[in-house]
């Protein structure tokens, strides 16, 4: 069992509170991501686990053993750094063997374990190369092999993909995820890229200002954000302030500007001020005469701008009364959604997130 | 409870800092305190008094020494800058054959002892100098090089690389697009240099010029050769100290303290000024060498070679002269190795001493300075800033003054060091420490700290990470720093002259003694060997030095 328990951990730098009383349990074998904008404390928290940032208070234990007072070189943690931190004065094999030599492993065993580790990251035969002969993606693999070869209890990755170009980033994240599942190693991953976090993680902690804003699985965090910050950080969203206007059976109408939107929140009270979040892709275009599917509500608006970005078309739509709305639809050559045209949109009220004003 | 424990990663820096503070405290701060207190305590050492200052400054001779030191320093700095900036501009912006060789030769005066340069000037243009006598024989009148003109000439010719190299680096760091922007906005090429280029590199020029200024204020060797009756602070402090009893060196301490105040003021001004004026244009594409044609191009190339060769001629002359025979101070044009024979016949072997001291001091400086440099770059706290200031302090202390302090501190009491060789090595080590600290922190700034963290997280303790990872990564820089320390220690005179005794004469002392008596032949041989000793390691390590040191100045 190599679960990580973080209890009431804090750290401030001068007057800045980098990590503010965080308590968090990461399960054994879990792929866990700390996600947030720069300065939110995610890297500090990771460096606390690694031992490179001191704790002002609180405890961290791995597999039931308290580690926060251990010097970092005795923690048996594998860490992958943002800029790879490959030792330029050692060959690839020398880099991978570095931690094994520190552990006084016999040289024959070092040789086999190094080649196994290189095979694991698909770098067989690269042992004698020098770091400057490798590409960014290859260096990243060496860094991962070097961190894994010591058989660490947990693997920490600090924005490991941020120095790679976009396409390689997508390939590498799949590889990292696949490797993690195969080895079943408890992994903490730090990133500011929400798409990356959604793609690889089992659970995500969205962080802001040294605290955890929301903790949950990727789908839950994206679809059910608990705060406006979490909603807007996880991807583009429409933030619509409104007032509860009335109730018809199970449907609650919210007046936004000059139009009514339907929400599925039964607890909303008449006259209450609320903020609605609606993801652009939760809206779809229907033909003017077409009836929405059961349970769906409809909206009308004028397209003011259409941005074609390949797989998607991003539309800026103006609702009656001037409320702007962002809509994303899959590319469709027959689309009627050209600037100036009026379109009808359908949406499922269950996909709207409602924040009671004051609570959000 | 928690406040008493030291975080694991802070332990090594703390241990290094404690050792560094101990070393600097005993061999720098305590001796300086000795100088300061000797200048302000009454003769029986009990009461505070300014009477020594009153007495010394009452004499116009010592007031003149203060004024001369400042005036010569300012003049030399001005002339040096005036020579070096056009040189840097030409080298940066003109492509011509042999440019790399020229840059290499232009850096040489950094390692050639200015004291030897002064001595060469004396032999060539002095009262009984070869050139002077030849000119007189032809009936050409020739003025005196003693005093200000000679001193300023030697400073300008030996110190110009201090301005040239940082200015050159400054030119290279200017992004071409900044100048292109100025020209696209309608500024002519000359106007662009004047309104854009120069303002950006002014901090580089000034940092070099201030180094020159400090160097001239502290210098002992050049004025001792060329000043004659003109009083200069560093020389007068030495003369007073040799004349006084070591138990009451009050007058020498007054001059020493004044010297420290001068250099410290300059250093503080430099830090204040330069801290706010670092125009970092994003180091992108350096400006291409322009295709300047015609007469400007010829003038530029001729100017470069003239300055560089002129600076090297005195040293070349010394080597040639060393193979000629001296009878007394008179030179004969017969080739001979007699001078070398005489030099090696002297007991104790000044060459052996010079090599031994330089090696020991270079090793000690690296051993102490590199860890300090590491702490300064990798750790942030109040005591680190204090360490930074303390380790830079020797830079502001003239060799003569530090040596006087060491004698005051270790002439009696618990530790007696005077009369031995160790005190010389200690003085050299303290004096060269700021250089090593600065070099090593410069190298460390280019090494990503996460390399060290990677090593630690792989299970190697901070100490062994430093030894097995950081030191190998720094090795090129460490070695080139060591070579330069070694070379500059070999030609050290200002503290040696105060501290040497009987068997521990160095090559520079041989030359110093020759100034006062006969023995010009051995002195020239010693000077030539000193030149060889300075040049050979630099040539051997030239590739390394180019990569690490020249870019760092």
B226 and B145 in contact (C-beta within 8 Å)? yes
Low-confidence ranges of chain B (pLDDT < 50): 1-3, 281-283, 347, 550-553
B421: exposed, middle or buried (Cβ count in 10 Å: 0-12, 13-18, 19+): middle
What local confidence, expressed as pLDDT, does residue B329 receive? 55
How many angstroms separate the CA of residue B455 from the nearest CA in chain A? 7
- The answer to whether B185 contacts chain A (CB < 8 Å) is no
Sign of CA dihedral B393, B396, B401, B403: positive
Cα(B373)–Cα(A47) distance, rounded to whole angstroms?
Answer: 24
Looking at the partner chain, which of A50, A54, A150 has a beta carbon nearest the beta carbon of B459?
A150
The phi-psi region of residue B479 (left if phi > 0; otherwise alpha if psi is between -120 and 50; otherwise beta) is alpha
What local confidence, expressed as pLDDT, does residue B175 receive? 72
Looking at the partner chain, which of A52, A87, A99 has a beta carbon nearest the beta carbon of B459?
A99
Strand pairing of A57-62 and A203-208?
unpaired
Cα(B256)–Cα(B404) distance, rounded to whole angstroms?
Answer: 8
- The answer to whether B7 contacts chain A (CB < 8 Å) is yes
- The answer to whether B460 contacts chain A (CB < 8 Å) is yes
Tokens of B216: 């001239």
User: Between chains, do B462 and A50 touch, taking CB under 8 Å as contact?
Assistant: no
Strand ranges across the sheet with A324-330? A283-286, A342-347, A297-308, A312-319, A324-330
Secondary structure of chain A in the HEC alphabet?
CCCEEEEEEEEEECCEEEEEEEEEEECCCCEEEEECCCCCCHHHHHHHHHCCCCCCEEEEEECCEECCCCCHHHCCEEEECCCCCCCCCCCHHHHHHHHHHHCCCCHHHHHHHHHHHHHHCCCCCCCCCCHHHCCHHHHHHHHHHHHHCCCCCEEEEECCCCCCCHHHHHHHHHHHHHHHHHHCCEEEEEECCHHHHHHHCCEEEEEECCEEEEEECHHHHHHCCCCHHHHHHCCCCEEEEEEEEEEECCEEEEEECCEEEEECCCCCCCCCEEEEEECHHHEEEECCCCCCCCCCEEEEEEEEEEEECCCEEEEEEEECCCCEEEEEEECCCCCCCCCCCEEEEEECHHHCEEEECCCC
Task: Tell me the chain A residues in contact with residue B459 when contact means C-beta distances shorter than 8 Å.
Answer: 73-74, 76, 99, 102-103, 150
3-state secondary structure (DSSP) of residue B324: strand
Cβ neighbour number for residue B288 with a 10 Å cutoff: 9
Cβ neighbour number for residue A223 with a 10 Å cutoff: 16
Query: What ipTM does this complex have?
Result: 0.83
Sign of CA dihedral B2, B6, B7, B8: negative
How many angstroms separate the CA of residue A226 from the nearest CA in chain B? 36
What local confidence, expressed as pLDDT, does residue B131 receive? 81
Task: Tell me the chain B residues in contact with residue A150 when contact means C-beta distances shorter than 8 Å.
Answer: 458-459
Give residue-wise pLDDT tens across range A262-277.
888 767 788 888 899 9
What local confidence, expressed as pLDDT, does residue B49 receive? 81
- The answer to whether A50 contacts chain B (CB < 8 Å) is yes
Count how many pairs of residues, chain A against chain B, have C-beta atoms within 8 Å.
Answer: 77
B422, B424, B426, B430 alpha-carbon torsion, rounded to 10°: 180
What local confidence, expressed as pLDDT, does residue B282 receive? 47
Closest CA to A337 of A300, A296, A294, A305: A305
Q: What angle, 0 to 180 degrees and rounded to 10, lies between the N-to-C axes of helices B60-93 and B99-107?
A: 160
What is the mean pLDDT of each successive set of 10 residues along chain A, which is 360 residues long?
92 90 94 94 94 91 92 91 90 94 93 94 92 91 94 93 88 92 94 94 95 94 92 91 84 87 80 90 86 82 90 91 91 82 90 73
Give residue-wise pLDDT tens across range A196-216.
999 999 999 999 999 999 999
A117 and A149 in contact (C-beta within 8 Å)? yes
- Residue B436's alpha-carbon distances to A12, A156, B164, B272, B333, in angstroms, are 34, 37, 21, 23, 44
3-state secondary structure (DSSP) of residue B6: coil
What local confidence, expressed as pLDDT, does residue B346 receive? 67
Task: Tell me the chain A residues in contact with residue B461 when contact means C-beta distances shorter than 8 Å.
Answer: 71, 73
- The answer to whether B14 contacts chain A (CB < 8 Å) is no
- The answer to whether B302 contacts chain A (CB < 8 Å) is no
Tokens of B248: 């009451």
Sign of CA dihedral B424, B428, B430, B431: positive
What local confidence, expressed as pLDDT, does residue A229 receive? 92
Looking at the partner chain, which of A76, A85, A99 has a beta carbon nearest the beta carbon of B453?
A85
What local confidence, expressed as pLDDT, does residue B281 receive? 47
A61 and A4 in contact (C-beta within 8 Å)? yes
- Residue A280's alpha-carbon distances to A109, A339, A351, B509, in angstroms, are 55, 17, 11, 85
DSSP, residue by residue, B295-310: HHHHHHHHHHHHHHHH
For the question of whether the overall pTM of this predicted structure is more than 0.90, the answer is no
- The answer to whether A78 contacts chain B (CB < 8 Å) is yes
What local confidence, expressed as pLDDT, does residue B179 receive? 76
């Amino acid at each position: 069992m190599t679960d990580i328990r973080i209890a009431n951990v804090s750290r401030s730098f001068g007057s800045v509170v980098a990590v503010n009383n965080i308590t968090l349990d990461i399960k054994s074998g879990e792929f866990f991501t700390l996600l947030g904008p720069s300065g939110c404390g995610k890297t500090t928290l990771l460096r606390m686990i690694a031992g490179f940032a001191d704790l002002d208070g609180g405890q961290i234990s791995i597999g039931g053993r308290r580690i926060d007072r251990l010097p970092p070189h005795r923690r048996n943690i594998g860490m992958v750094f943002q800029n790879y931190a490959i030792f330029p004065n050692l060959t690839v094999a020398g880099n991978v063997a570095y931690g094994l030599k520190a552990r006084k492993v016999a040289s024959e065993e070092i040789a086999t374990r190094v080649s196994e580790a290189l095979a694991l990251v698909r770098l067989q035969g690269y042992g004698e190369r020098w770091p400057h002969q490798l590409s960014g993606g290859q260096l990243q693999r060496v860094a991962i092999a070097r961190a894994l070869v010591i058989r660490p209890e947990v693997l920490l990755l600090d924005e490991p993909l941020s120095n790679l170009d976009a396409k390689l980033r997508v390939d590498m994240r799949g590889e990292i995820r696949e490797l993690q599942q195969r080895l079943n190693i408890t992994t903490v991953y730090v990133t500011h890229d929400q798409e990356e976090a959604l793609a690889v993680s089992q659970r995500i902690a969205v962080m802001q200002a040294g605290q955890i804003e929301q903790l949950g699985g990727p789908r839950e965090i994206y679809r059910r954000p608990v705060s406006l910050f979490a909603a807007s950080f996880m991807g583009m969203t429409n933030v619509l302030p409104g007032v509860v206007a009335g109730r018809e059976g199970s449907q609650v109408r919210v007046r936004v500007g000059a139009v009514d939107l339907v929400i599925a929140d039964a607890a909303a009270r008449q006259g209450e001020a609320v903020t609605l979040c609606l993801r652009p892709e939760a809206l779809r275009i229907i033909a003017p005469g077409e009836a929405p599917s059961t349970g769906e509500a409809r909206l009308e608006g004028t397209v003011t701008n259409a941005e074609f970005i390949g797989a998607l078309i991003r539309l800026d739509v103006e609702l009656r009364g001037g409320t702007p709305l962002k809509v994303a639809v899959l590319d469709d050559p027959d689309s009627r959604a050209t600037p100036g045209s009026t379109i009808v949109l359908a949406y499922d009220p269950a996909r709207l997130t409602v924040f009671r004003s004051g609570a959000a | 409870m928690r406040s008493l424990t030291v975080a694991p990663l802070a332990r090594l820096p703390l241990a290094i800092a404690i050792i560094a503070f101990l070393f600097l405290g005993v061999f720098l701060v305590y001796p300086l305190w000795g100088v300061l207190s000797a200048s302000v305590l009454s003769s029986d050492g009990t009461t505070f008094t300014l009477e020594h200052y009153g007495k010394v400054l009452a004499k116009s001779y010592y007031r003149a020494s203060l004024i001369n030191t400042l005036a010569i320093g300012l003049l030399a700095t001005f002339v040096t800058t005036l020579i070096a900036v056009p040189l840097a501009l030409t080298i940066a912006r003109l492509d011509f054959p042999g440019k790399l060789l020229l840059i290499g030769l232009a850096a040489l005066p950094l390692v050639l002892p200015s004291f030897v340069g002064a001595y060469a000037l004396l032999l060539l243009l002095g009262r009984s100098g070869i050139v002077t006598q030849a000119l007189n024989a032809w009936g050409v009148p020739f003025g005196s090089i003693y005093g200000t003109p000679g001193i300023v000439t030697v400073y300008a010719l030996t110190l110009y690389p201090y301005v040239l190299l940082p200015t050159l680096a400054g030119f290279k760091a200017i992004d071409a697009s900044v100048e292109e922007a100025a020209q696209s906005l309608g500024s002519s090429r000359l106007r662009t240099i004047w309104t854009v280029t120069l303002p950006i590199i002014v901090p580089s020029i000034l940092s070099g010029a201030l180094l020159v200024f400090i160097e001239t204020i502290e210098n002992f060797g050049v004025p001792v050769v060329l000043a004659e009756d003109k009083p200069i602070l560093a020389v007068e402090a030495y003369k007073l100290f040799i004349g006084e009893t070591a138990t009451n060196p009050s007058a020498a301490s007054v001059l020493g303290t004044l010297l420290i105040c001068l250099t410290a003021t300059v250093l503080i001004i430099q830090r204040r000024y330069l801290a706010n004026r670092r125009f970092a244009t994003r180091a992108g594409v350096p400006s291409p060498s322009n295709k300047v044609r015609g007469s400007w191009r010829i003038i530029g190339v001729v100017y470069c070679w003239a300055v560089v060769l002129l600076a090297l001629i005195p040293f070349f002359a010394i080597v040639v002269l060393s193979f000629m025979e001296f009878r007394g101070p008179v030179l004969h044009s017969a080739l001979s190795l007699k001078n070398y024979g005489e030099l090696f016949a002297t007991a104790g072997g000044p060459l052996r001493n010079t090599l031994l001291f330089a090696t020991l001091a270079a090793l000690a400086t690296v051993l102490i300075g590199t860890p300090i440099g590491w702490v300064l770059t990798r750790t942030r706290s109040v005591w680190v800033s204090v360490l930074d200031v303390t380790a830079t302090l020797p830079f502001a202390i003239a060799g003569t003054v530090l040596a006087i302090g060491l004698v005051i501190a270790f002439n009696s009491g618990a530790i007696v060091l005077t009369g031995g060789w160790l005190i010389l090595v200690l003085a050299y080590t303290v004096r060269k420490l700021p250089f090593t600290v600065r070099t090593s922190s410069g190298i460390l700034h280019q090494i990503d700290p996460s390399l060290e963290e990677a090593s630690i997280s792989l299970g190697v303790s901070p100490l062994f990470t430093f030894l097995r990872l950081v030191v190998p990564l720094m090795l090129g820089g460490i070695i080139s720093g060591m070579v330069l320390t070694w070379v500059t220690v070999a030609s050290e005179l200002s503290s040696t002259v105060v501290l040497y005794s009987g068997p521990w004469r160095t090559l520079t002392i041989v030359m110093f003694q020759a100034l006062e008596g006969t023995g010009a032949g051995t002195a020239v041989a010693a000077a030539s060997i000193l030149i060889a000793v300075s040049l050979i390691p630099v040539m051997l390590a030239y590739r390394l030095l180019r990569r690490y040191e020249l870019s760092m100045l």
